[in-house]
């Protein structure tokens, strides 16, 4: 086990060392709170590591308004957020504004236009050669595309490394490879955590365990509607760097990294907690890659992996205090949008817990008694 920090009773304990847990810790420690984060493994090695890092929901108009509100607020601060981490840690999260080219937007154009009215951003409607000018190597089809020039990306592993380094510098206690076996309550209030590293006294507890959040909350007799949804990814390397933009079509995407790597994602599989990669998953992703970028037949697969997203109802995360159990809160269920909604999600929960005026309405993300059936 790897423990960093002092063995003191923190103001807040957070279960989950992924991007959501660490961003929540950053909000709270920057406000002066004393924090401990606990993870069953190494930090940010689950969904946080596996994801692509696109700073936008895919087809954002297909998501409900609360998800877009979190994303929109986060997008406005992400560049500064990453620069702050870089300046404090020397680790560059590689915030990069590539722009997002959505090739099959024509099917959703009315919904897209309604979304643009609510969440204004720079965009272009493209057809024919205009699409090829944006992405010269694309196998051009006659569909209409939309180009969102302000959309950026980060490299999830580097963002995670920067967050962890920042938190350690701020005195956050880090407990890795420390699995929570049970959340113990006394008189409907959080009391302590029973872990593989011993019992830990807690004042306030935040569950930010991603796809495992429902399992964690079962230990207090509650069932939260969060489930694991597997996504497989494939990585290529192109020294010619022929993909220019983040590209989205057929519900799959290509993300060009600064160093020439191209990430292709992702599958959507209901496989419980099975994270194994499959031949069919690899075939699906390679087929997408060469359909839209024929030159990728020349490239070899560098890496193939899978992660588990925390699926939730309509993709709306649960952010706030758990009714009926004093001292227990949750920040989980972000589905495919944990990275893009992370800063705003962390800010909202910190606002609630520190009794600040929230920048976003809390109600759409709140847990209610009827959602928390007995486990």
Is position 90 within any domain? Answer: no
Spatial separation of the C-alpha atoms in residues 192 and 204, rounded to whole Å? 10
- Whether the CB-CB separation of 118 and 68 falls below 8 Å is answered with yes
- Tell me the two tokens of residue 139: 């196998």
In the chain, helix, strand, coil percent, each to 5?
35, 25, 40
pTM higher than 0.75: yes
pLDDT of residue 8: 56
Spatial separation of the C-alpha atoms in residues 42 and 39, rounded to whole Å? 7
- Tell me the two tokens of residue 343: 């800063």
Q: What is the mean pLDDT of the chain?
A: 93
Is position 300 within any domain? Answer: yes
Distances (CA, A) of 333 to 24, 155, 344: 14, 21, 14
Is position 70 within any domain? Answer: no
SS3 324: coil
Asked if residue 307 and residue 320 are part of one domain, the reply reads no
Domain ranges, residue 172: 2-50+158-221+315-374
Asked if residue 32 and residue 108 are part of one domain, the reply reads no
Is position 67 within any domain? Answer: no
Asked if residue 332 and residue 354 are part of one domain, the reply reads yes
Asked if residue 239 and residue 126 are part of one domain, the reply reads yes
pLDDT of residue 371: 61
Q: How remote is the C-alpha of 20 from its chain's centroid?
A: 7
SS3 115: helix
Spatial separation of the C-alpha atoms in residues 319 and 364, rounded to whole Å? 9
> What pLDDT, in 10s, does the model give residues 291-310?
999 999 999 999 999 999 99
- Tell me the two tokens of residue 48: 């946080």
The CATH number for 346's domain is: 3.50.50.60
> What pLDDT, in 10s, does the model give residues 28-46?
999 999 999 999 999 999 9
- Tell me the two tokens of residue 246: 């983040």
Is position 91 within any domain? Answer: no
Confidence grade of residue 374 (pLDDT, cut at 50, 70, 90): low
**Domain total of the chain:** 2
* Residue 66 scores a pLDDT above 90: yes
Q: What's the mean pLDDT in 311-328?
A: 95
* Cα dihedral: 261, 265, 270, 271 (round 10): -20
Closest by CA position to 53, among listed 341, 351, 314, 282: 341
Count other C-beta atoms under 10 Å from residue 180's C-beta.
25
- Whether the CB-CB separation of 36 and 14 falls below 8 Å is answered with yes
């Amino acid at each position: 086990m790897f423990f960093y920090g002092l063995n003191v009773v923190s103001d807040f304990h957070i279960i989950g060392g992924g991007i959501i847990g660490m961003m929540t810790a950053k909000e709270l420690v920057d406000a002066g709170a004393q924090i401990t984060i606990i993870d069953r493994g190494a930090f940010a090695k689950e969904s946080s590591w596996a994801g692509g890092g696109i700073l936008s929901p895919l087809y954002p108009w297909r998501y409900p308004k609360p998800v877009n509100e979190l994303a929109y607020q986060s997008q406005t601060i992400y560049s500064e957020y990453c620069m702050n981490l870089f300046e404090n840690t020397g680790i560059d999260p590689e915030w990069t504004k590539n722009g997002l080219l959505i090739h099959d937007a024509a099917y959703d154009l009315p919904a897209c236009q309604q979304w643009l009215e609510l969440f204004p951003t720079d965009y272009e409607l493209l057809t024919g050669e205009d699409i090829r000018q944006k992405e010269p190597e694309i196998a051009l089809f006659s569909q209409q595309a939309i180009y969102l020039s302000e959309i950026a990306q980060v490299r999830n592993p580097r963002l995670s490394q920067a967050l962890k380094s920042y938190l350690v510098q701020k005195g956050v206690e880090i407990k890795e490879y420390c699995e929570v076996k049970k959340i113990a309550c006394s008189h409907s209030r959080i009391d302590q955590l029973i872990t593989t590293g011993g019992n830990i006294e807690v004042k306030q507890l935040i569950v930010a365990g991603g796809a495992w959040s429902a399992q964690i909350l079962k230990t207090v007799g509650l069932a939260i509607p969060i489930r694991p949804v597997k996504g497989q990814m494939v990585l290529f390397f192109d020294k010619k760097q022929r993909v220019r933009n983040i590209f989205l079509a057929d519900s799959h995407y290509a993300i060009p990294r600064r160093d020439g790597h191209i990430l292709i994602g992702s599958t959507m599989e209901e496989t419980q907690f099975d994270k194994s990669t499959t031949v069919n998953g690899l075939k699906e992703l390679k087929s997408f890659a060469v359909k839209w970028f024929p030159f990728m037949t020349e490239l070899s697969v560098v890496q193939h992996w899978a992660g588990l997203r925390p699926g939730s109802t309509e993709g709306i995360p649960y952010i706030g205090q758990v009714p009926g159990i004093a001292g227990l809160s949750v920040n989980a269920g972000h589905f495919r949008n944990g990275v893009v909604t992370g800063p705003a999600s962390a800010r909202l929960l910190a606002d609630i817990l520190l009794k600040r005026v929230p920048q976003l309405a809390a109600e759409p993300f709140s847990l209610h008694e009827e959602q928390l059936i007995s486990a």
